[in-house]
Amino acid sequence: MDSSEADFEPITGNGQPVSDQPFYSRGQLALRNGQDRDEIWVAFQGLIYDVSRSRLWKRGNHYEHWAGQDLTAEMAQAPHLPTVFDRFPVIGRLA
């Protein structure tokens, strides 16, 4: 990790540092799948991102990826870099 990566702090939904974001269980994350609630969340590397405003996640899925899940393992196969998450606010941490 170079110094620019070490200094990077993701944006958060409430303006508080990532370290102050609440923890959510995998069960709580699963409820934010875009089907039963308006919230569409995904997790990556221990952080939970709100992707609700993305037109690519409107139905709770993005190609073969489903919201309400930890996508860390799946990102290795994605055609884009994990920096795609930089566009979305962190709203929590995965417990």
Q: What is the pLDDT of residues 12-46, one digit of tens each?
A: 999 999 999 999 999 999 999 999 888 999 999 99
CA 17 remoteness from chain centre: 15
Indicate whether 6 pLDDT > 80: no
Cα distances from 8 to residues 1, 64, 84, in angstroms, run 11, 29, 14
pLDDT for the residue numbered 5: 54
pTM: 0.88
What's the gap between Cα 74 and its chain centre?
A: 13
pLDDT at 63 over 90: no
Q: What percentage of the chain reaches a pLDDT higher than 90? A: 72
Say which residue the tokens 């990102």 belong to: 75
